[in-house]
Amino acid sequence: MRALLSVSLFALVGPLLPAQGPAGAKVDFLTEVVPIFKARCFECHGPKEQEGGLRLDTKAGLFVADEKARTVRPGQAAKSPLVQRIELPKDDPDVMPAEGGPLTKAQIAVIRRWIDQGAVWPDGADKAIAALIAGSAAGKAKPSESALPTLPMPAGAQKEAEQRAFAAIRKAGGVALRVAADTGACEVNLSLVGDKLTPEVLGQLEALAATLVRLDLSRTKAGDDALQVVGKLGQLRWLNLARTAVTDRGLSAVANLKHLGYLNLYGTGVTDVGLQQVRGLAALRKLYVWGSKVTESGAAALRKACPKLRVDRGESAVALASVVVAPKTGPINTQCAVSPTKSVAAGKEVVYEGQRIGFCCDKCKAAFLHNPGKFLPGLRGFLHAKGSVAANKSCPVSGKPVAGSATEAPFRSPFRGKVIGFCCAKCKAAFDKEPERFLPKLTDVFGAPASPAKPGKPVKPGKPVKPGKTKKVL
Ligand code: HEC
């Protein structure tokens, strides 16, 4: 009778008691912990960014080889740095998440219990998380861009060849990834390899012909010969050749890519003649030719021939955002974006609006992330993706008219709270190096130069960029 009573009492009361400590109900990592990480952490500690060197979406990322550096100590929630960070008061500069307010008590309790119970990371969780992240990214992307093919997962010899190619690409400094856990489709980004790209590395792409759907060769020294390899990648959907040595001659190889939906030829030597080659690409929806030799009439002719194709000669900020990417060698600034008297320290950087920005320490980095709009106007070299109407009509370096339309900014430098426009990237670079030299040409903006200019002086925000607007990537 007593046994019966206690059993029924437990049945009644058990589930109502809050689970506490390791003895509480077993936490299910994938359905209880991962949703918290996904909602509040992966944005900065996931596939795109690993702030503070921490990655929370993979087992290897959390349980790094150096045990002392681990932020989670299985069985010891209270001693885990991760728990200490999420339990800091909400006004502490070190509290995590770094944006959007602290976790709720219930969320913290789940993470604590998971760690006290041994911080189990089940087999296959990495894959499930990758799919979750890819799924939500795809959900937010425009339909045309999210329609990635479900290609068969490579097996056997093909898989081995692929793994070898991935390894060689990564060794060269490139990125090679599967786009989602449930498809064989993969992507490669070699733009960071820059002018160190060799024919051997390019040749590795051939092993990926059956699965490669996205390829970024921008700012590498890839030329027409490289396109011979690219032409064999019949599954490509997205191809970025911005600022490469590609010309009309090489483009004929691209004409075979029947799935290609996006092609970026920004800053290449391609002309109206070369554009003829893409007319046969039935799947092509976006073509960026800004800064190439394509003329307005050439673009208009192509638009007429291919009504579904958007030919962009620089009208779009999207084109800009995709090509004004972080320079391969480091941040755009040498002095900390928050404390301009200090130099940028190695590895203390964030990528914001596609541009790599450096800091002297993690505190400054966190301060920037908290309110980028406060610091961007003083950051020379930063290009606003949109809304940057140049204050000047003619290029202060060459005297030619400022390039681009009124509202979008192909070549702009924020300087002393004003947005200065240029006719080309060369002039912008010359200005950024030594702006004072060109001040006499900017009397319409700043008036006659009375006293010597103070470079790098923080200026009043012109049009602050709202924090968080462009950072949310998942
Ligand atoms: C908006 C970006 C952002 C978000 C969101 C964010 N963090 Fe961070 N996190 C940072 C930055 C920046 C650093 C490095 C500077 C520092 O240590 O404060 C960092 C550092 C950390 C560190 C210290 C590094 C280490 O290895 O111990 C931990 C732990 C951490 N974050 C945990 C989390 C957790 C858990 C979440 C989600 C609940 C989270 N963060 C969400 C930006 C973020």
Give the residue from 282, 307, 322 where a domain finishes: 322
Residue 27, both tokens: 């936490």
CATH number, domain containing residue 302: 3.80.10.10
Residues 110 and 211 occupy one common structural domain: no
How remote is the CA of residue 163 from the centroid of ligand 1, in Å?
Answer: 31
Q: Are 403 and 424 in contact (CB under 8 A)?
A: yes
231 Cβ below 6 A of ligand 1: no
C-alpha to C-alpha distance for 365 and 20, rounded to whole angstroms: 36
360 lines ligand 1 (CB under 6 A): no
Beta carbon of 61 within 6 Å of any ligand 1 atom: no
Q: Is the CB of 92 under 6 A from ligand 1?
A: no
pLDDT of residue 80: 95
Could you tell me if 210 and 154 are in contact, meaning their C-beta atoms sit under 8 angstroms apart?
A: yes
Nearest-10 Cα torsion for 230, 235, 237, 239: -10
Q: Is the CB of 366 under 6 A from ligand 1?
A: yes
* Structural domain containing residue 359: 327-380
Q: Which atom of ligand 1 is closest in space to residue 41's alpha carbon?
A: 37
Q: Are residues 170 and 257 in the same domain?
A: yes
Nearest CA to ligand 1 atom 14: 52
**Could you tell me if 220 and 195 are in contact, meaning their C-beta atoms sit under 8 angstroms apart?**
yes
Is 470 a member of any domain?
Answer: no
Whether 171 and 318 share a structural domain: yes
Locate the ligand 1 atom nearest the alpha carbon of residue 40 and give its number: 37
Q: Are residues 79 and 99 in the same domain?
A: yes
Q: How many domains, in total, are found in the chain?
A: 4
Does the beta carbon of 49 sit less than 6 angstroms from any atom of ligand 1? no
Dist. CA 454–CA 461, nearest whole Å: 17
126 and 110 in a common domain: yes
Question: With a 6 A CB cut-off, is 326 part of the ligand 1 pocket?
Answer: no
Residue type, 157: A
Report the amino acid identity of residue 115.
I
272 and 178 in a common domain: yes
Q: How far apart are CA 147 and CA 277, in angstroms?
A: 24
Q: Burial level of 442, CB count in 10 A (0-12/13-18/19+)? A: buried
From the CB of 416, is ligand 1 less than 6 Å away? no
97 ligand 1 Cβ < 6 A: yes
Is the distance from the beta carbon of residue 224 to the nearest atom of ligand 1 less than 6 Å? Answer: no
Q: How far apart are CA 259 and CA 451, in angstroms?
A: 58
Compute CA 193 distance to the chain's CA centroid, rounded to the nearest angstrom.
16
Tell me how far the alpha carbon of residue 340 lies from the centroid of ligand 1, in angstroms. 24
Residue 2 lies in a domain: no
Q: What pLDDT score was predicted for residue 311? A: 87
- 226 — alpha (psi -120 to 50), left (phi > 0) or beta? alpha
Nearest to 464 by CA among 372, 359, 337, 347: 372
Q: Which of 32, 34, 85 to mutate to test the pocket of ligand 1 (most atoms within 8 A of CB)?
A: 85
Identify any residues that bridge with 356 across adjacent strands, giving them in sequence order.
351
Residue 314, helix vs strand vs coil: coil
Q: Has residue 313 been placed in a domain?
A: yes
pLDDT of residue 469: 37
**Closest approach atom of ligand 1 to CA 362:** 15
Q: Are residues 215 and 298 in the same domain?
A: yes
pTM value > 0.95: no
CA distance 53 to 44: 10
For the chain (474 residues), the mean pLDDT of every run of 10, in chain order, is 38 36 71 87 90 92 89 95 94 88 90 95 85 62 48 86 91 80 81 86 95 90 92 94 92 91 90 91 88 88 89 56 43 84 83 77 85 75 58 88 59 71 82 82 74 43 40 36
44 CA from centroid of ligand 1 (Å): 7
| Cα R_g (the chain), whole angstroms | 26
CA distance linking residue 183 with residue 154, whole number of Å? 9
Beta-carbon contacts of 351 under 8 Å, excluding residues fewer than 6 positions away, are 49, 326, 357
N-term to C-term CA, the chain? 56
Give the residue whose CA is nearest to atom 29 of ligand 1.
82
